[in-house]
Amino acid sequence: MSKNIRDKVAIVGVGACKFGENWDMSREDMIVEAAYEAYADAGIEDPQKQIEAVFCGAVYPNGGTGEVAEALKLFDRPISKLSNYCETGTDTFRYGVMCVAAGMYDTVLVVGFDKPKDRGVSGPSVSFDRVRGLPATPAGWFSLCAARYFQTFDAGREDLAKIAVKNHHNGTLAPKSMLKREITVDDVLNARIISWPFGLYDCAAQSDGAAAAVITRADLGRSFRDDPINVKAITIAVGANPQSDPNFDFLSWKPTQVAAKDAYRQAGITEPFRELDVCQVHDCFTLTEMLTYEDLGLCKKGEAKDFVASGVFELSGELPVNTDGGLKTFGHPTGATGVRMIYENTLQLRGQAGERQVKNAKLALSHNIGGAPQACGIAIIGHP
Amino acid sequence: MAIFASDGRPLPQPTPTTQPFFDAAKKRKLRLQRCPRDGFFYYPRSRCPKCLGDDWTWQDTNGLGEIYSYTVDRIAHDPAFRAFAPFAVALVELDCGPRMTARIADCEVSDLRVGLPVEAHYEDVDDITLVSFRPRTA
């Protein structure tokens, strides 16, 4: 069981480049844009002296640390690169937080980035699994849960569609999001099918992008700015591939349930729906967001469709989820996504989220899953 | 390194652990490993996924099951699968216990449903036999 990390580390700067098909930017360009925005946000004028170590997260590049060092001209100091499926960003943030909490460094930079659009395919490489000879894509892995979930809880494509409509609306209010277009439930239902029951609008927008955060010891937070945001919980859980786990019922994300329990314990949360003010969750597909509501304990198993229909997760609702459009419309540059969630939650907690601002946000959760899915990372941040 | 069939599809390559599965498939039998404590398991592996015991044996099953969940691939990312699209990929819950992920053959997409009774179906591709499932005929 993890030890408590609550209120030991503060977020004092966040930044992100615009997410999208960034043909005119290299990885280094995106890293520089995100990191320098985070520096300015933290009031850091001399990163050479003030940034003691860098943690970077990326899934696609083979290298990583050298390009970050050269892009930021931060040499002769520790730089590490992490990869942990699509929850790479949250895990990268976790490593930075743990190092600061351990007293290794006072102030470090966390940067997540990926540039998948240059690869010429719109998802991870198609893989083939052992004896089955079946093509498998992320849409295929996740959609396998849907028919069973629909049958068990009397849900359907129209329930998922409402999630896509919500996230498309939120994305129109986020200046740096990839897609800025309102859609309707009919648009979702009539779009071409990718992997049943997922149509085009049930799938997240894979994109290029980078996001960064400057974190420091909690007691130093106010030396950077008046409104530092504290880390309340940070954890991950990794389980078996659902395909090889004989006990996986395809109705819930086990690693999410395990990580959520640990994160709530760290943060001292007993009633997540009532206590949390805003959430960013991993909506690689609409169904992923639907199951995540339940596995995070925001509602009971099978209740998600009723909660969605009631509007509680919309910007004007009781617990807004994916306020910046989520992976669906803000974009999903794999390694950047978890750090982008920290970026959005930090803006929300400071009251700097513009038109998408959630009123009186004091406690925010971000949730990333990765793999088929096998891994889940959760961060909870809030007012000191 | 993938091995490709004459029609372009990548083919599974049997290992010492999986060879008996493919040998049985060639003879139109669905043969799986069975642990003396925890029963049948799939996919083939060196130890029981529940107790980690290695005293399992290969045993024939009746090859019957029903669809637990499914999806339909209408795009076929790999060009070699385009001739098959749209095709169903299902989790089949076998009568003998474990679930197998497999293609569903000889079935209209509109006929797919959770709970559909299916039986093992065998397709010879070059030197290997692939196992899929199809709606029960009897």
pLDDT digits (tens, 9 = 90+) for A117-128: 887 665 554 444
Radius of gyration of chain A (CA): 19
> Quick one: pLDDT band at residue A199, thresholds 50, 70, 90?
very high
CA distance, residue B137 to nearest chain A CA (Å)? 23
Asked if B68's CB is within 8 angstroms of A133's CB, the reply is: no
Predicted pLDDT at A141: 80
For chain B, the helix, strand and coil percentages under 3-state DSSP, each to the nearest 5? 10, 40, 45
Q: What's the gap in Å between the CA of A108 and the closest CA on chain B?
A: 41
- Best probe of the A interface among B56, B68, B78, B101, by most A CBs < 10 A, is B101
- Report B:21-40 residues touching A (Cβ under 8 A): 21-22
DSSP A106: S
As a CATH number, domain B15-135 is 2.40.50.840
- The total of other beta-carbon atoms located within 10 Å of residue B126's CB is 12
Fill in the amino acid letter for A217: R
pLDDT tens-digit readout, B73-125: 887 777 788 888 888 889 999 999 999 989 999 999 999 999 999 999 999 99
The amino acid sitting at B68 is: Y
DSSP state of A84: B
Q: What's the rounded Cα separation, in Å, for the pair A164 and A140?
A: 18
Nearest residue of chain A to residue B68 (CA atoms) = A148
Specify the pLDDT at position A126: 46
Per CB-CB distance under 8 Å, the chain A contacts of B21 are 131
pLDDT bracket for residue A367 (50, 70, 90): very high
Chain B interface disruption, residue of A119, A122, A129, A131, most B CBs within 10 A: A131
Distance of alpha carbon A96 from alpha carbon A57, whole angstroms: 11
| B64: helix, strand or coil | strand
> Which of B9, B41, B102 is nearest residue A246 as measured by Cβ atoms?
B41
**A349, A229 contact by CB (below 8 A):** yes
Return the residue of B nearest to A251 by Cα. B69
Any chain A CB within 8 A of the CB of B58?
Answer: no
- Kindly give, in sequence order, each residue whose CB lies less than 8 Å from that of residue A73, ignoring residues fewer than 6 positions away: A48
B48 touches chain A (CB under 8 A): no
Minimum distance, in Å, between the CA of residue A234 and any CA atom of chain B: 30
Residue in chain B lying closest to A123 (CA): B77
Give the pLDDT mean for A237-263. 90
Distance from CA of A16 to the nearest CA of B (A): 32
Q: How many CA atoms lie within 13 A of A182 on its CB side?
A: 2
**pLDDT (mean) for A133-155:** 84
In this structure, how many other beta carbons lie within 10 angstroms of the beta carbon of residue A165? Answer: 19
Whether B96 contacts chain A with CB within 8 A: no
> Does the CB of B46 have a partner CB in chain A at under 8 Å?
no
Q: Which two tokens stand for residue A68?
A: 């970050």
Which among B41, B69, B76 has CB closest to A144? Answer: B69
Q: Which of A35-39, A119-123, A274-278, A363-367 has the lowest mean pLDDT?
A: A119-123
Contact of A315 with A356, CB cutoff 8 Å:
yes
Contact B12 A137 (CB under 8 A): no
CA A258 to chain centre: 17
Cβ–Cβ below 8 Å for A147 and B18: no
- Residue A131: what pLDDT? 43
Instruction: State residue A60's pLDDT score.
Output: 85
Minimal C-alpha gap between A139 and chain B (Å)? 9
* Residue B25, number of CB atoms within 10 A of its CB: 20
- A contacts of B49 (beta carbons < 8 Å): 244-246
How far apart (Å, rounded) are the C-alpha atoms in residues A278 and B123? 52
Write out chain A residues lying below 8 Å of B77, CB-based. Answer: 121, 123, 126, 135, 137
Domain locations in chain B? 15-135
**Smallest Cβ distance to A133: which of B12, B41, B49?**
B12
**At CA A331, angle to CA A313 and CA A257, rounded to 5?**
50
Residue A195's pLDDT band (cuts 50, 70, 90): confident
Domains annotated on chain A, with CATH: 9-117+208-223 (3.40.47.10), 138-200+230-382 (3.40.47.10)
For residue A107, give the nearest of A34, A211, A10, A16 by alpha carbon. Answer: A10
Give the mean model confidence (pLDDT) for residues A33-44.
98
Pull the structure tokens for residue B3: 């091995």
CB atoms within 10 A of CB A303: 13
Partners of residue A121 in chain B, C-beta under 8 Å:
77
Residue scoring higher pLDDT (A132 or A307): A307
Q: Is B74 on the interface with A (CB under 8 A)?
A: yes
For residues A274 and A272, give the distance between their C-alpha atoms in angstroms, rounded to a whole number: 5
Say which of B68, B71, B130 has its CB closest to residue A140: B71
CB contact under 8 A, B91 and A250: yes
Average pLDDT on A274-301 reads 97
Predicted confidence at residue A198, as pLDDT, reads: 92
Residue B64 touches chain A, beta carbons under 8 Å: no
Please check the confidence at residue A147 and state whether its pLDDT lies above 70: yes
- Site from A126, A128, A134, A251 to mutate, B interface, most B CB atoms within 10 angstroms: A134
Strands (E), chain A: 9-16, 53-57, 79-82, 107-114, 127-128, 135-136, 193-195, 198-199, 209-217, 229-238, 278-280, 363-370, 375-382
pLDDT 10s digits, B18-60: 999 999 999 999 999 999 999 999 988 999 999 999 999 999 9
Of B33 and A241, the structure prediction assigns the larger pLDDT to B33
Beta-bridge partners for B124: B129
* Cβ proximity of A380 and A233 under 8 Å: yes
Query: Given its phi and psi angles, is residue B107 left (phi above 0), alpha (psi -120 to 50 degrees) or beta?
Result: beta
> What is the residue whose two structure tokens read 């669905």?
B30
Asked if pLDDT for residue A167 goes beyond 60, the answer is yes
- B24 contacts B31 by C-beta, under 8 angstroms: yes
Q: Whose CA is closest to A65, among A84, A86, A81?
A: A81
CA distances from A31 to A13, A75, A114, A286, B5 (A): 15, 15, 9, 29, 43
What confidence score (pLDDT) does residue A128 get? 43
**Length of chain A, please?**
384
Dist. CA A232–CA B66, nearest whole Å: 46
B114 touches chain A (CB under 8 A): yes
Segment A126-149 mean pLDDT = 69
